[in-house]
Amino acid sequence: NGSKASLDISFPEGGAYTLTAQYKNNLFESNVVKFNFNVNKENARISASSVTKTYGGSEKSTVTLKDDNGNLIKDTIVYFNIDGKSTKIKTNAKGQASMPITLAPKSYTATVSFEGNNRYNAISTQVKIVVKKATPNGNIKKGKVILEQAAKAKGYPFKFNS
């Protein structure tokens, strides 16, 4: 009589699955059908911005991990690889992972990667990090002058090399 049945199923992770459907009726012979199928993993996306900071500043490199639908991927490990050193950081409730930058003044290219898991494919991206030299401010120069004057007043031969 052309009857149909449908079922919506959500799979929490990629992999191979088997669906078994059984039809039972007193008027007709029972029938069992098995379907084997694969569910593909979802793609992940990493977004990161370049960072420019002054040496000694508190700036961080922050990345956001989302799925293809823009949903945040929380509580997941990402790796920051900078200058031969790898650091593992877990994403927070906003899907973000932040790494403090404590590097010497120089330009760097960091690789941020997510190794994938049961649900998402692996992905990586590169981000430019520039650490500029700190420049002395007027207070340092003023402090040098005060020290030199105090040493001279006490009769000590003292002078900063510039």
pLDDT in tens, 105-118: 999 999 999 999 99
pLDDT in tens, 64-102: 999 999 999 999 999 999 989 999 999 999 999 999 999
> What span, in angstroms and rounded, lies between the C-alpha atoms of 159 and 162?
9
Residue 5 pLDDT: 75
Higher pLDDT, 156 or 131: 131
Q: What is the CA radius of gyration of the chain?
A: 30
As a whole-number percent, the residues of the chain with pLDDT over 70 amount to 85
Return the DSSP state at 120: B
Would the pTM count as exceeding 0.85?
Answer: no
Residue 160 pLDDT: 65
> What span, in angstroms and rounded, lies between the C-alpha atoms of 96 and 62?
7
Predicted confidence (pLDDT) at residue 4 exceeds the cutoff of 90: no
